Copies of this chain bind each other. A is one copy, B any other.
Amino acid sequence: MFTIGKASEQSGVNIETIRYYEREGIVPKPGRSAGGRRLYSSDEIAKLRFVRRCRDLGFPISNIQTFLSLTPQYDRSCGEVRTMAENHLGEINAKIENLMRLREALLSLSKNCDDGTADCPMLDALMKDGFGDGLHEQSSC
């Protein structure tokens, strides 16, 4: 059994975050030592690691809770997991697309700054009417 510090080290989850996960019921409450300290088994640490990896992959906690509730009956879970992963992939793709459009917009704004005149063309353009409205709607390009 490991204290929270070791569990944090081994799982890669911050100590404060572990306590937060416990408070929120995302991971089960661990046992305690005589002095009241949390004690984690290797399985519990593996669960923390699992949560961290899912978070690293960008899954929201709500998804991870579903994952954790599914894991005992693996045989049913695969379809659900796949659906959630696909939804998540869709969101990631949308985010990438948005960021790339945003990058283009920024580049086109800031390259004008090279001309050395007194005014800043970038702020100018942002102040004017009509630029960049509807940046996040897919109709305009």
Say whether A31 faces chain B, with CB atoms less than 8 Å apart.
no
Say whether A113 faces chain B, with CB atoms less than 8 Å apart.
yes
Report which of B81, B109, B122, B127 forms a contact with A122, defined as CB distance below 8 A: B81
Q: Does the CB pair A123–B81 fall under 8 Å?
A: yes
Question: How many angstroms from the CA of A70 to the CA of B54 in the assembled complex?
Answer: 42
With contacts A82-B113, A99-B99, A132-B53 known, is A127 near B58, CB below 8 A? Answer: no
Which A residues are within 8 Å of any B CB, using their own CB?
A: 12, 46, 50, 53-54, 56-58, 67, 70-71, 74-75, 77-78, 81-82, 85-86, 88-89, 92-93, 95-96, 99-100, 102-103, 105-107, 109-110, 113, 118-124, 126-127, 131-133, 135-136
Chain B nearest Cβ from A117, distance in angstroms: 8
Q: Does the CB pair B132–A57 fall under 8 Å?
A: yes
Which residues on the B side are within 8 Å of A93 (C-beta)?
103
Q: Does the CB pair B86–A12 fall under 8 Å?
A: no
With contacts A57-B135, A102-B58, A113-B81 known, is A127 near B96, CB below 8 A? Answer: no
With contacts A56-B132, A67-B123 known, is A89 near B110, CB below 8 A? Answer: yes
